[in-house]
Structure 1
Amino acid sequence: MKEKMKKYFFPIFLTVLLFIVLGFEIYLLRLPPEQIPTRFIIVSLFVINIISIITLGFFVIRSIFRLYLEKHREVPGYRFRIKIVTIFVGLVLIPSALLFIAFSGVLESSIERIFSKSNREVISKTIDTVKSFYDFEKARLLKFAEDFNEGKIKGLPDGISVERLKNPQEDMPESIRDAFQGKKSTQVISSSDGDVIIAALPEKQGVIVLKMSIPSYVTKKVEEVKAYHEEYLKMGSFRKAVKSNYFMFLGFLSLIIIFLALWASLKISQEITNPLKELVQATQRVAEGDLKVKILTKSSDEIGILVNSFNEMISKLDKAYIELSERHILLERIFSNITSGIIFVGNSGKILKINKAGEEILQISADKLQGRHYSEILEFVESDELKEFIKKLSQERIYEISKDLNIKIKGRNKMIKARIVSLREFEESEATGILVVFDDITDIVKAQQAVAWEEVARRLAHEIKNPLTPIKLATERLVKKWKNKDEEFDKVFEKSTQRIISEVESLKNLIDAFQKLGKLPEIKKEPVNPVDLIQDVIELYRGYKDVKINFISDGEIKPVLLDYHEFKRVLINIIDNAIKAMNAKGEITISVKLNNSLQIEIADTGPGVDDEIKEKLFLPYFSKTKEGTGLGLTIARKIITEHDGRIFVMDNKPSGTIFKIEVPA
């Protein structure tokens, strides 16, 4: 603040001095010329005005020259400064010029009107009238003196006194002296009490003198008229000088206003553009990467707020840049040290980045891949599967794909597991790139193959047990009917033997499928009535006296595409587990409903399943009993999944468990 005061003190002081001098000059012009040495003082004041204007002009010209240099050097902000200066000067120059022309015309006409011929005649006639009045009174008084001396009148009017003088005196008025010399004479004598008219007439024995006093108010008016007349004559002699002086005053005032506006506009524009100039220079440095820049200009106005906001923004940007750099370094370390291979593909299809693990898996250096299109990876890797996979990528809109691929690199076969994810801000927005994560699972596949036969054997044993259960139940029922000599033995015998034959055939198909494929039979869907399927399963458990199986059908149930045998195997697995959980005593309720999907619920009244065990039930080899293989529910979930459905566990109220199956209808 103090620096600004020092900077602007002299120009402001100079401007104030100019106005004081001009005001004093106006005051002098209004005084009577005889009271002061007017010409000398006015000339002196003009000299001071000229020096002040020259000094102010120097500051203005210096500022304009600096502005010219800024334009020549293209200093940021010079265009804005030129605009402000042009607008300020234009707004001041035009009105000042118009006012100068208007006041000059008014001044010219006013001075000419004051010293016009008619005014001069009026003033001259006024003086002539005053003279005529005094001449008339002197002639009248002289006539009174003659008539009084000749005896024509005996008394004189009021206000006229008479005096006879026999001898002359030293201090007597000139008119009386002329009368002693034999001349009749009149005279006007002025005093503080007013004017006195004297008429002196010679006679034989001396001189007769008549005096008449003029009232003081008349005398005062006469003196004022004389003074006005003398001042008017003197002003008339200075008419051109006065006119020139006023014109110069208006010119000086206009120049002062214009120079002051020019200087003010330069300073105001400088105050505005200096922070903006620093701001532009700072932004250029930021664009070049310098985030340590800071603007030191301080101001309490909006420019100051802008500068403070810029400094705060750059400070936050610097912190964010440092954090981003640290994160980038961290990500680079993670990217380099992660054991999975990672390839980042840009939206143009070019490979932008590959980590060390990716180089090792593909046995290709990053320099050979980065910057090339992802399809060119086939130059280094032999694989028909990969070729088809890349072709699919180029034709489809990718979101997320996982695939196992057999590839051949430098004569060596490998199995890799690849997961491809498109990077999008929103699901419907365009992808900004593709992230490919892949692992070499060759050794894992070999290890899995080593234990595959063991798993197949265990699964085969488990799956063989499922058909044996209904065979055993049918045989026991048949023996029981035969021992009891039941009348329905023949009917039961036929039905049981058909069931045994059917299950044996199913078992044979299962063994054949395992022998051929080494895996569970392929799902073959055909229209199946779920009610008939469930009734067939329920029929297998009629021999359990202490187990009550209820069936509930909600509405009309139409045929659904299912694999009859595999779906039947799922239901048998679940019911077997339910009977074991209830220790062969309890109630099982099977309900079926069909809307958009087929929904089957199998609820038992056993002890239930703890929450932490529910998800483990479907894991391979997890079993709650020592006798179980832990594959039953795993196979059940796999069969349901291959039907594009799902299976999950819920609690039954007040006790027990519910297995719910949902498959598309």
Structure 2
Amino acid sequence: MSDKPARTPASPEARRARARRWTLSVVAALVTAVGLVLMFLLAQATNNSELYERNYARLFGINVVVAVMLTLVLGWVAFRLIKRLRQGKFGSRLLIKLAAIFALVGVMPGLLIYVVSYQFVSRSIESWFDVKVEGALDAGLNLGRATLDSLSQDVSNKARAGGALISEVPDAAAGLALERVREQFGATDVLLWTGTGQLIGSAGASRFQLNPERPSAQFMRQARTTGSVAHIEGLDEVPAGANGPPPAATVRALALVRRPGFDLGGETRFIELTVPLPPAVVANALAVQEANREYQERALARGGLLRMYIGTLTLSLFLAVFGAVLLAVLFGNQLARPLLVLADGVRQVAGGDLRPTVVLPGKDELGGLTRSFALMTQQLSEARGAVEKTLGELDAARDNLQTILDNLTSGVIVLKADGTVVSTNPGATRVLRMPLAAYEGRKLTDVPGLEAFGLDVEQQFAEFEVERAQHGLDHWQHAFELHPGGAADDMVNLVARGAELPGAARLLVFDDISEIVSAQRAQAWGEVARRLAHEIKNPLTPIQLSAERLELKLSGKLEGSEQAVLAKSVKTIVDQVDAMKRLVNEFRDYARLPAAELKAVDLNALVADILHLYENETIHGQVLAELDPRCPMIRGDAQQLRQVIHNLLQNALDATEAAAVARHAAAPDGAAAPAAPVLVRTRLGESGERVRLTVQDHGTGFAENILKRAFEPYVTTKTKGTGLGLAVVKKIADEHGARIELSNRIQDGAVVGAQVSLSFALSPERHSVAATTPSEEHPVT
């Protein structure tokens, strides 16, 4: 994609000027085209006087309209030139000079040619109609007529001779006689008719006609009166001005066949001869006739021809003048436009506008100057565009960096050299649990609750300066323990990294590793549990057996008081050994929890089976169950899930009982309401892809610091206990890929108990199973 800046829209004045130029060009082209068409029509009319006479008024009117339009266009051009001159626009004087020069160059030769052509046309037209020419045409026409009359008379005489030849031939033998007559006189057709117009016989082409054309009654009367008659056929049918070969003209003669002797009783007969005329004679006769006709027509239209030629010359002169002025304006504009473009471009560049200027086509010096100027402005524009693009990229990079910082889970703080907070990201507020954005512009050591952290960070940067100078380090890293809000039981573990930024700024990046520390602590407890189970369990049995053996050996040998002391001591040893064994077993279970064997498990049936172990509690309403019958099979280890449910129920019952005892002790009259029940619930998730198990108690809940570490070993709120119950639950949940949540239940702003929820994935066998108890809340029996 080009980096060239887009051209800004033209101003209204520039658009109007462009529209005027287009309008002027279109009108000029239209008028010129109409004028050329009229000249062509006039030229065509010169050879066709009839067409000219028929369309004279129309052509004259169109010529007047074109002349008026040309005058208006020329007037508009002159008005624009004068207006530009009065407005003082650059190049106006040059345009006027060029227009005047081109107009003079076009008008003066045009006027000279017009005068000479007018005289030439006038004298030429008069010379066309001379008396000698007219006499020669009349003589030629008479000569042609005489020639045709002579030929007609000759054919008439041949008809008489033919009639004499067949006068004694009977009608039955007329065919052979007619054929001899046709061959003798060179006729194309010979026919013998009766006086009533009946055909007796024929020779030639007419023999093949069923009904040959018979002579008219007038033609027969003339032949009976004069003996013979002839006329020419075919010349009158030729239209005037027809081109092509001459027509086949013939001479048709009809002669009376006289009877021999005094045979007055016989029927009158007529012989008809058809003889073709020579083509040369016919062509010459037609040519003379056509020439005489055209001469007479031109003689009658002499004035119209003169007007026609003069009109054509006048229109040509007007078009020449118009073209000269128009070319003057156009060429003058072509010469002045580069200068105008340069002047306008200089004003734009001076005003800081680096838009691409117009580049004029052409290979002359002015066109090259506009191209060089446009290249210069383009390079300036590209340079400024590159700077703006770089600034835009910097802004975009800054925005992207800010977006990344805003979405980082790590905290980021930019500090000055004196420890003043320049900027922070939301991750820093989330990790340090402090609205650091409100403390920008202040030192980190002045933020309440972070004074020690700020001092430690300054100390780390001071040591980093020394280390960097000695060893060339580029960053430092250190772990911190913070107590936000000053609470000793609320601790946040951080790992921070610091580095120097340009401009003596400092970058501090830190992450909350409390969960990692918790995981490491759990792993350490697992290792401790394994070692304790190995080191402590082995001597417990010998201790218990030794105590019991002492009691057995000494029983009955001591006095009453000593015997009581012995029994009490042995019992104490045995009880403590049992307690130690239970502790060791819990550590062993936590440390050596076997890998889960995930199979399809009916969670509802498993819960119902476990609740049978708490039958006494369920009878007295201390445990309630809400089991969703829609729950399908889940993926799990039945034995480990049984341990999870048992631990959760036992913790919930202990918490509920402790809360009930506390409320009873705090009651003024020593009486309190009965303890609320523990609720076990199963539900199919809204997505239908997971099953949730929830255990709710009505205890005192957990403190905030305990909630964050409740699943760590040896974290407990009980006076007696190892704190391994929820740790084992968390470990089993992780083996099952289940999500576990622990939270306090809040009602009317007060803590009314705690809730543990586990979300299990479905087994591939996703058919639903019926619960062993109804879904309504009720004791399970």
Q: Does TM, scored on the shorter chain, surpass 0.5?
A: no
Query: With structure 1 as the length reference, what TM-score do the two structures score?
Result: 0.39
TM-score under structure 2 length normalisation: 0.34
Q: Name the structure, 1 or 2, with higher relative contact order (CA <8 Å, separation 6+).
A: 2
